[in-house]
Amino acid sequence: MLHGEQRPYHIVAADEARTRGIGVFVTDLGYVRPDWLTLEQGGLTGQSHFPRDPEAIRAFAEEFPEPDLEPRFAAPFRLLAACDVVYNAAMVLGRPFYPHYRRHGIYHPFAEYAGWAWNAPRRLLTRHATVAAKTRLAAEPEGYFLYPLQLATDFQLRTHSPFTDAREALRTVLDSFAESGGRRRLVVIGHPLDEGLINWRRIILDRRCDRILFLDGGVTNALLANAAGVVTVNSTVGLTALRLGVPVKALGSAIYDVPGLIHMGDLAGFWPDPRPPDHDFVAMFLRAVIGATQVKGGYHARAAQKHAIPVFAQRLENGLFPTSPRSMLSCGGDHPIG
């Protein structure tokens, strides 16, 4: 049982388990947010056995009831922060006992905390201006595209995309948009948990394109709902946008990388012609992916744990919903980026 399957030790553990005929189950934060956890056999995202063929997904959807999409288990930021600090402090202080341990993160955790502390005053001082800018943009329906940044340490980007890191992905999007020549703007949105260790503004300013704007603090629902389109590597924001009927272009392997949901052509063709998803198919996809791979609940809040744990146990005892190996299924993930 693994929390994410692409960390170095998890890759080895999974390989060793498979050679011995031992089942490998993987869990992580949900494909659907908030209030969901993912539980799959074998792997997640690019390694998931969930089908990418529309007809197979429609057949899956018939097996499940309508999902409960009402948010029920909010985890306060102070709880998430406390868990993070306790985990990282134990890892750093315990390092002498495990001198050869390789951490899966890119940065030292104390460097991440220092970045947070260094950037906190700037974020506080610019918060009102940032909120006002997002409100003004949301009042211009379809006048802008969104590119919500993923964390630089996000394993979904690092292992399930063609990019070496988040900076390469951003530069690819910026160059493509600058060459598109359209009249809309591109709004790059910083991740709400960004540590501030990468100067995203500098990367954008280097492109010298006055149609590109950077804003901190994450994407609001109004900003997302009124966008002309969303470009992402494989963030869960993409699925949220699809639920709102917003056109989406995914640059990496994503669970929603399916014909009828996202733009299947190249990125250059997305800017002039962002086509919305099939509303009915989005609803069927949600029924299928939630029924087959998602568990209602969370890792941190006690109420969320109490709701999720019995379902996890039941599925592990009775067997997960059967899916086929990816090699047997159609996949929409081979379309070009450029």
- DSSP string covering 184-226, please? SEEEEE--TT--S-S-HHHHHHTT--TTEEEE-S---HHHHHT
Tell me how far apart the alpha carbons of residues 209 and 256 are, in angstroms, rounded to a whole number.
Answer: 31
Q: If you ran DSSP here, which 8-state letter would residue 107 be given?
A: S
Judged by DSSP in three states, 322 sits in coil
On the question of pLDDT at 258 being above 50, the answer is yes
Which pLDDT does position 156 carry in this prediction? 83
Residue 237: HSE in the Cβ half-sphere, 13 Å Cα cutoff = 26
pLDDT digits (tens, 9 = 90+) for 77-115: 899 999 999 999 999 999 999 999 988 888 888 999 999
The encoded tokens of residue 2 equal 């693994």
Q: Among residues of the chain, what percentage have pLDDT more than 90? A: 76
Q: What is the mean pLDDT of the chain?
A: 91
- Structure confidence at residue 5 as a pLDDT band (50, 70, 90): confident
pLDDT digits (tens, 9 = 90+) for 200-237: 999 999 988 899 999 999 999 999 999 999 999 999 99
Q: Among residues of the chain, what percentage have pLDDT more than 70? A: 96
Give Cβ neighbours of residue 169 (< 8 Å, ≥ 6 apart).
150, 157, 161, 163, 233, 251
- Structure confidence at residue 319 as a pLDDT band (50, 70, 90): confident
The answer to whether the beta carbons of residues 260 and 54 sit under 8 Å apart is: yes
Which pLDDT does position 149 carry in this prediction? 96
Q: What share of the chain is helix, strand, coil (3-state, %, to 5)?
A: 45, 10, 45
pLDDT digits (tens, 9 = 90+) for 114-126: 998 898 898 889 9
Which range among 39-48, 149-158, 310-319 shows the weakest confidence by mean pLDDT?
A: 149-158
Q: Find out whether the peptide bond into 34 is cis, omega within 30 degrees of 0.
A: yes
pLDDT digits (tens, 9 = 90+) for 274-303: 999 999 999 999 999 999 999 999 999 999
Judged by DSSP in three states, 46 sits in helix
Which pLDDT does position 324 carry in this prediction? 61
Predicted structure pTM score: 0.90
Which pLDDT does position 336 carry in this prediction? 58
